[in-house]
Amino acid sequence: MICHFLGPDERKSLSCTCRAMFAFINTEAPFRKLKLTKNGLSELNSLYRYSRVLAFATEVHWKPKFEKRRGRHHSTNGLTMVGLSMQLILPILQTSSSLRLFEIHRLKVCPSHQRIILSVPTLRELVLNQSIFVPSTAKMPPSSITSLSFVPGATQPAPTAHILRLLSESLEVLDVSYSSRTVYCTLVALRTVQFPHLVSLRHNSLELNTLALLTSHLSITKLYILATISYQQLDFTPDVLPGLRDLSSPWWVAEQLVPGRPVQAFADTGRKPVNLDDLEAKLSQLAQSTSTIDTLQMGVTCISAVRIFLMLAKRLPQLKRLQIWTPNIKLRVNPDTGKGTKWHPLKKCPPLITDIEIRFRRPTKGSTRPPISRPFCHWMLYLAGKACPSLRVAMFAVLDSTESDIEPIDIPPACKFKACKTGGEWEEQRERAWTASEKEKVDGLEDTLRKMVSKTTLFACQ
């Protein structure tokens, strides 16, 4: 009855809000990511009024828009707007049971606030975006943070050594961004500090030779190198990265790092596919690993099923998992050899591949992904099954040329084909695709939620 006393605009707003809240509750979609971008008195008041929202976040990105003053860090202590905001936010995050990632921008974190950040029980990833932890001799609680990232910006040796020392017992993943020399030199200076769980390193700096500082006192087993780094001659001694097992880098880096090291998995991060005529020479470099390569991710100019599998069976006979991407949607099939239907070039030495994924990339107009042809996928599955008798899982996808590292779960059902072999028969694993009306409702829900949350100066998304 009350609705009848409302005007058309009020009823429309109430209707949209009710529908949004109904979907919000029934889809179990709480706030996942909060971006705090304002830094005024009204925004501070909004944070105070809606502070309980912070307890539901799995990611909090603190990126207030400061005045443009180069090289200045804003202290989290004191009666400034930054200090008051952090003093309001951190006690709430300390009791959170959802927070996984915390990013801070251009902040100078005082010891009392360091203690709160380190004591968040669920926090796993800390991102320092041109921020520092003020060095202190105060005793800090043990931390559960396993990943530390230095977002582009100059780092200082003393604060860098302080944060590394605080996280030494729990740190597993280190992203040095473009500050590799400072971070690596700090690691060398901290030889007396043990990093028992540090196994993964992400390197974006153009100074690749700084990797020579990572000798056997660190147990680095996984290394990621940015694709845009140009060719450099690497003169590394055998004691540099001696335990490297998982390498993601351009091919020219792998050709210099893999020989003599126990690499078991390689992923090509380059944006240029390899010509089939050059592929065997590159595979022979991977074969010089002191261990067996069982996982490979690479790009090729075109898919020639028999030719690629022949090279893999020859150079990497123990390969189990293979992911290939190509800009060519066509499949090159070898002509009939005239040796009968039961004959196959790989019959004498078939590869042991059990899991294969082929991604076709091609330019598209706008953001529309091209659908995948299922008859074409069935034909590829037949060829792959004939070449690899051990094959158990196969997936084929068509993606935009700009999509490179997208996860399989994020690929729309209409653009991928996945099949699993059970009991000797292939069975397609289908996912139900959204209808046009369902997609329209979801898009409308996202817009409504965005408008509602923008009033609280908090940007939220699933």
Contact 125, 151 (CB under 8 A): no
Average pLDDT over residues 136-153: 87
Confidence of residue 66 (pLDDT cuts 50, 70, 90): low
Contact 120, 93 (CB under 8 A): yes
Q: What is the pTM of this model?
A: 0.75
Q: Lowest-pLDDT range, 1-10, 95-104, 221-230, 407-416?
A: 1-10
- pLDDT 10s digits, 242-270: 889 999 999 999 999 999 999 999 999 88
Among candidates 119, 124, 169, 173, which has minimal Cα distance to 145? Answer: 124
Q: Lowest-pLDDT range, 32-36, 289-293, 435-439?
A: 435-439
Q: How many helices (H) and strands (E) does the chain have?
A: 11, 22
Q: Is the pLDDT of residue 286 over 90?
A: yes
Average pLDDT over residues 55-81: 67
To the nearest whole percent, how much of the chain has pLDDT over 90?
A: 19
Q: What is the mean pLDDT of the chain?
A: 76
Confidence of residue 454 (pLDDT cuts 50, 70, 90): very low
Between the alpha carbon of residue 206 and those of residues 129, 155, 181, the distances in Å are 19, 16, 10
To the nearest whole percent, how much of the chain has pLDDT over 70?
A: 69
Q: How far apart are CA 7 and CA 171, in angstroms?
A: 57
Which residue did the predictor score with more confidence, 188 or 153? Answer: 188
Locate 389 and state its tokens: 């008798």
Confidence of residue 306 (pLDDT cuts 50, 70, 90): confident
Q: Cα 203 from chain centroid?
A: 14
Rounded to the nearest 10 degrees, what angle do helices 111-118 and 81-94 cross at?
A: 30
Locate 324 and state its tokens: 């290939």
Confidence of residue 453 (pLDDT cuts 50, 70, 90): very low
Contact 355, 390 (CB under 8 A): no
Report the pLDDT value the prediction gives residue 318, as an integer from 0 to 100: 92
Report the pLDDT value the prediction gives residue 287, as an integer from 0 to 100: 94
- pLDDT 10s digits, 100-124: 999 988 888 888 889 989 988 899 9
- pLDDT 10s digits, 224-246: 987 766 788 887 888 888 889 99
Locate 154 and state its tokens: 């100059």
Give the residue extent of every domain in the chain. 301-433
Which residue did the predictor score with more confidence, 180 or 375? Answer: 375
Q: Lowest-pLDDT range, 112-126, 183-197, 309-323?
A: 183-197
